Amino acid sequence: TSFRRKTWTGITAEGKKCHLSRVPCHTPLEASFAAFLDSAPDVVRYMKNEFFGFSVTYYENNRPRQYYPDFIVVVKGAGGGETWWLAETKGEIRPNTPVKREAANLWCERMTAARRGTWRHLFAPQRRFEKAIAANVKTFADLIGALAAGTEPQLKLLGLDDPRIAREKFKTLLP
Residue 173's pLDDT is 57
Q: Output the average pLDDT for the chain.
A: 88
> For 172, what's the count of Cα atoms within 13 Å in the CB-facing half-sphere?
2
Mean pLDDT calculated for residue range 134-153: 86
Q: CB-based contacts of 8: which residues, under 8 Å, 6+ apart? A: 22, 24, 50
- Least confident stretch, 49-53, 95-99, 133-137: 49-53
Q: Is the pLDDT of residue 175 over 60?
A: no
CA angle 70, 7, 43 (to 5 degrees): 35
* Phi-psi map region of 117: left, alpha, beta (phi>0 left; psi -120 to 50 alpha): left
Average pLDDT of the residues in 164-174: 65
Q: How confident is the model at residue 170 (pLDDT cuts 50, 70, 90)?
A: low
Helical residues (DSSP H) of the chain, grouped into ranges: 28-39, 97-113, 126-134, 140-149, 163-168
Burial 8-46 (b: 16+ CB within 10 A, else e): eeeebbebebbebeebbbebebbbbbbbbbbebebbeeb
Query: Quick one: pLDDT band at residue 44, thresholds 50, 70, 90?
Result: very high
* Residue 4: pLDDT over 70: no
Per-residue confidence (pLDDT) for residue 141, from 0 to 100: 95
